[in-house]
Structure 1
Amino acid sequence: MRALVLTGPGEAAVREVEPPAAAPGEVIVDVERAGVCGTDVELFTGAMSYLHTGRSWYPLRPGHEWCGVVGATGDGVDPAWLGRRVTADTMLGCGRCERCRHGRHHVCAELAEIGISRGRPGALAERIAVPATALHRLPDSLDPALGALAEPGGNALRAVRAAALEPGERLLVLGTGTIGLLVALFGRAQGLDVHVMGRDADALPLARSLGLGNAWTRETLPSLPWHAVVDASNAAELPALALDLVEPARRAVYIGLAGTPSTLDTRDLVLKDVTAIGILGGSAGLAGAIAAYADGSVDARPLVAATAGLAGTAAVLAGRRPEGAGPGPKIHIDPRR
């Protein structure tokens, strides 16, 4: 089968590889759609920290935002999975340790991440092997663009839940990339008064086109009580700004990652009695994200600027947008093309 293979920093090509076979407890999924994520870009450029700690290594087959149809099942798997449209949890814990047993498999010490770490092949390929225990069923009618947005949607929904707001309360989201806009959309679906802050004025039209009229830059941000702030940016200075802006005794949620260390003054954290929460992975939010996409309360399809074939993936990783791409921040790949 064809798969995208990263062989070193800046080196990516579509290659013919041995197709996966369904091991006991696994299924083989024919991939319909896969998203290109910032993590995939870091793996391509060599900037990803896992490459320096030994958690990831080349050659590497990326792709962790995806959906597809189950084409084969291994021993011990319910054959009813055959033919079903699915996505899956990216985070695969050992299943035996205390963290896994108590529902925290996403921070398992032996965690393997599909398309990211410990050699687990990803979905920028025609087929992928996945443990059946990680599967989430998708409605047959769900647009594949939404199926492939389940993983980032799960992350965003976890961030909204972590903010712990009541309907009508005010949420400020820092960042207008895929995750920031998804946080805003899920927050709005839960009845929150959502505001977003972008890097500059050019980052705001897409948010407004999604019905997020309260879209600001740092210079135009109104002085309002922010009942929770979610930092979904990659700017090293914004974690401290989130803490500065949030109301005392409320919550600052951190889901973005900067390329350089961020600093904030824990004296401010203590003296404002703020709860700071970090979000890693969408595991606990996948089911809720899929449900919101299915019932129409969140429509994230405008975030997808274009869908390219597998051969165009290397160019996307290198920062080149497909011809005719729309304004959305996300590029999808159809490995069947």
Structure 2
Amino acid sequence: MRGVILPGNRTVDFREIPVPQPQHGQVLVKIMASAICGSDIRAIYRAHIGEGAERYVPGMIAGHEPCGRIAAVGPGCQALKVGDRVSVYHISGCGVCDDCREGYQISCSSPVRAAYGWQRHGGHAPFMLADERDCIPLPESLSWVDGAMCACGVGTAWEALTRIGVSGGDALLVTGLGPVGMGVAMLAKALGANKVIGTEVSPGRRKMAQELGIVDEALEVDDKTLVRIKDLTRGKGCEASIDCSGTAPGRVLALQGTRQWGRCAFVGEGGKIEFDVSPVLIHPQITLYGSWVTSLKHMSDLLDRLARWGVHPEKICTTRLPLNEAARGYQMADKGEAAKVCFVFEG
């Protein structure tokens, strides 16, 4: 079979590998949708800058947001059978450390920890080998693209919202309306947040978020943005905020736009930040969280709630392409020409 690899230097190539056979505790997933994540762009597509958990093994099939149908099961599998629909949690941990026992395989520190699409073959190919324990049943009412988007990006959004406890009593500020930021806003609406304010430098993404009803307000980023946020919240700021921009200005704005005693989470990866700690964080007594991806249990909870709510993350996916157009898809994602790019498969 033919799969996508990422040599770096903003290039895409294809590699032929045999269709793998599942061993003990493994399943073979026929991929139906495989999305591009911002981390793929930042740490692999542009250049192989990742180390440790973000180290990309050259020649590895890319794609860590996979979703599909079980095509074969190996000996020792206990729950899944051929034909089952699954979304795949994109980290396979050791299974025995404290983090893995909590379902946070993302935080596994064992040398055997491996991410699909980074240190073991991922979803940018017709088939993918996965450990059964990494697969989460996909409800029938959710699409393949819904499931792919929850494997990392929308799962990351859900984790941050649950960590800071967003509910109907909150106004929420989201800085950065990329795929994760739009996912945060969409899920916050489903949770009942009484106002969702987004900020974004891209006019196209602001327009899309507004047209899709994902946010109540999509604000341009300039020297008056904080004033607008305060005006929309009776001068107080939002009870909760989540930075999805991964930029220093976005992170500072998220903190500044949070009201006294509020909660703020940083989700956007990379970069550095510097701010005056006392007036921005300590004196307003803001609680600041770092939130990294999600857990197996929370991803399962998310899929269940999406099905019950009738909420579909796929509406954020503006571009769906066959795998043979992978180079075009990665270029679009790199340039910010699409809110989300997903490769879709027939069958």
TM-score, normalised by the number of residues in structure 1: 0.89
What SS is found at the alignment partner of 1:249?
strand
Q: Is the 8 A contact 2:175 2:251 kept in 1?
A: no
1:198 aligns to what? 200
Structure 2 CA distance for partners of 1:278 and 1:54, relative to 1, 3 Å: closer
Instruction: Quote the offset at 1:185 in angstroms.
Output: 0.7
2:325 aligns to what? 312
What amino acid is aligned across from residue 174 of structure 1 in structure 2?
Answer: T
Using the alignment, how far apart are the partners of 1:261 and 1:240 within structure 2?
Answer: 11
Using the alignment, how far apart are the partners of 1:78 and 1:178 within structure 2?
Answer: 34
1:207 aligns to what? 209
1:165-204 matches, within 5 Å, as 165-192=166-193, 193-204=195-206
Structure 2 CA distance for partners of 1:97 and 1:47, relative to 1, 3 Å: same
What SS is found at the alignment partner of 1:298?
coil
1:17-166 matches, within 5 Å, as 17-42=17-42, 43-46=44-47, 48-50=49-51, 55-78=55-78, 80-110=80-110, 111-116=113-118, 119-151=119-151, 152-166=153-167
Q: Is the 8 A contact 2:166 2:188 kept in 1?
A: no
Q: CA RMSD in A?
A: 2.5
2:341 aligns to what? 331
Runs (4 or more) in structure 1 with deviation over 6 Å come to: none
Which range moved further: 294-303 or 172-181? 294-303
What SS is found at the alignment partner of 1:205?
helix
What amino acid is aligned across from residue 307 of structure 1 in structure 2?
Answer: R
Using the alignment, how far apart are the partners of 2:290 and 2:79 within structure 1?
Answer: 38
Question: Aligned pairs, how many?
Answer: 330
What amino acid is aligned across from residue 180 of structure 1 in structure 2?
Answer: G
Structure 2 CA distance for partners of 1:131 and 1:194, relative to 1, 3 Å: same
1:222 paired with 2:229, answer: yes
Alpha-carbon displacement from aligned partner over 1:147-186 (angstroms, at most 9, x marks no partner): 2111222111111112223313211111111110110010
Instruction: Quote the offset at 1:286 in angstroms.
Output: 1.2
Q: Is the 8 A contact 1:189 1:297 kept in 2?
A: no
Q: Is the 8 A contact 2:31 2:345 kept in 1?
A: yes
Structure 2 CA distance for partners of 1:130 and 1:227, relative to 1, 3 Å: same
What amino acid is aligned across from residue 63 of structure 2 in structure 1?
Answer: G
Q: Give percent identity, aligned residues only.
A: 25
Structure 2 CA distance for partners of 1:14 and 1:161, relative to 1, 3 Å: same
1:254-293 matches, within 5 Å, as 254-258=266-270, 260-267=271-278, 268-283=280-295, 284-293=297-306
Using the alignment, how far apart are the partners of 2:166 and 2:17 within structure 1?
Answer: 48
Using the alignment, how far apart are the partners of 1:272 and 1:320 within structure 2?
Answer: 37
Structure 2 CA distance for partners of 1:80 and 1:135, relative to 1, 3 Å: closer
Structure 2 CA distance for partners of 1:46 and 1:232, relative to 1, 3 Å: same
Q: Is the 8 A contact 1:142 1:294 kept in 2?
A: yes
2:308 aligns to what? 295
What SS is found at the alignment partner of 1:124?
coil
TM-score, normalised by the number of residues in structure 2: 0.87
Instruction: Quote the offset at 1:301 in angstroms.
Output: 2.2
What amino acid is aligned across from residue 301 of structure 1 in structure 2?
Answer: E
Using the alignment, how far apart are the partners of 1:183 and 1:240 within structure 2?
Answer: 18
User: Could you list the runs of 5+ residues in structure 1 that have no partner in the other structure?
Assistant: none
Structure 2 CA distance for partners of 1:77 and 1:147, relative to 1, 3 Å: same
Structure 2 CA distance for partners of 1:50 and 1:315, relative to 1, 3 Å: farther
Q: Is the 8 A contact 1:29 1:72 kept in 2?
A: yes
Q: Is the 8 A contact 2:175 2:253 kept in 1?
A: no
Q: Is the 8 A contact 2:41 2:333 kept in 1?
A: no
Using the alignment, how far apart are the partners of 1:38 and 1:241 within structure 2?
Answer: 21
Using the alignment, how far apart are the partners of 1:128 and 1:50 within structure 2?
Answer: 24
Instruction: Quote the offset at 1:56 in angstroms.
Output: 2.5
User: Could you list the runs of 5+ residues in structure 2 that have no partner in the other structure?
Assistant: none
Structure 2 CA distance for partners of 1:200 and 1:68, relative to 1, 3 Å: closer
Using the alignment, how far apart are the partners of 1:55 and 1:127 within structure 2?
Answer: 22
Using the alignment, how far apart are the partners of 2:128 and 2:325 within structure 1?
Answer: 19
Using the alignment, how far apart are the partners of 2:150 and 2:205 within structure 1?
Answer: 23
Instruction: Quote the offset at 1:79 in angstroms.
Output: 6.8
